[in-house]
């Protein structure tokens, strides 16, 4: 008797319940692509943040060409936190100096009165050991006297003590 061949199984159907590349396979591919794109964007953002950390704007500004107007004081290179104290009996002097400094790009974090109202000469104090920052503040206010008096208990870079001699510089 001749032997009969076994019947082959029919290929799986490609309908809704089939195992081929239907709509479900396309969705998985799309989800994988979106996930890879999101991870790539996250890594690029992280890389840019790390680059910004090691290349702050102050460092990039140091390589920029100087401004054309030498009479106008240069804006600070980076964030300079300033305290302005009025050491006179003249009301509003610290507010006026604060406005001048903020107009020129400095970050005035505190204003007030100095102990006692008896100082004749204005002075700018370097609080962190960066004399260049203090000199920038002094130039913006027209104060010739700059001293270094480090104070690590303060959360600022420069202290301005306004004396009776201080007058607001002319507007540029």
Helix (H) or strand (E) holding 25: helix 23-54
CB atoms within 10 A of CB 166: 23
Q: How confident is the model over 25-33, as a mean pLDDT? A: 90
Beta bridge mates, 161: 85, 123
CB atoms within 10 A of CB 14: 11
Say what percent of the chain tops pLDDT 90: 45
pLDDT tens, 50-103?
667 666 554 444 444 444 444 555 556 678 899 999 999 889 999 999 999 999
Q: Looking at per-residue confidence, does 3 or 115 come out higher?
A: 115
pLDDT (0 to 100) of residue 115: 84
pLDDT (0 to 100) of residue 51: 66
Residue ranges with strand state E in the chain: 81-86, 107-113, 123-126, 146-148, 158-162
Reported as a pLDDT band with limits 50, 70 and 90, residue 48 is: confident
pLDDT tens, 144-158?
999 999 998 888 999
Q: Which residue, among 124, 160, 161, has the nearest Cα to 145 in the 3D structure?
A: 124
Q: Which residue, among 89, 59, 99, has the nearest Cα to 77 in the 3D structure?
A: 59
DSSP state of 106: -
Query: Rounded mean pLDDT of the chain?
Result: 79
CB atoms within 10 A of CB 46: 10
């Amino acid at each position: 008797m001749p032997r009969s061949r076994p019947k082959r199984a029919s290929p799986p159907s490609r309908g809704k319940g089939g195992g081929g590349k239907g709509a479900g396979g396309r969705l998985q591919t799309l989800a994988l692509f979106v996930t890879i794109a999101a991870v790539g964007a996250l890594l690029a953002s992280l890389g840019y943040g790390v680059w910004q950390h090691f290349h702050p704007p102050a460092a990039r500004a140091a390589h920029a060409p100087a401004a054309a107007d030498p009479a106008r004081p240069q804006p600070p290179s980076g964030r300079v936190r300033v305290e302005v104290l009025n050491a006179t009996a003249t009301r509003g002097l610290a507010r006026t100096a604060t406005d001048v400094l903020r107009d020129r790009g400095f970050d005035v974090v505190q204003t007030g009165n100095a102990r006692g109202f008896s100082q004749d000469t204005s002075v700018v104090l370097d609080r962190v050991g960066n004399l260049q920052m203090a000199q920038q503040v002094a130039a913006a206010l027209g104060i010739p006297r700059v001293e270094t008096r480090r104070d690590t208990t303060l959360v600022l870079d420069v202290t301005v003590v306004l004396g009776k001699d201080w007058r607001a510089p002319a507007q540029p």
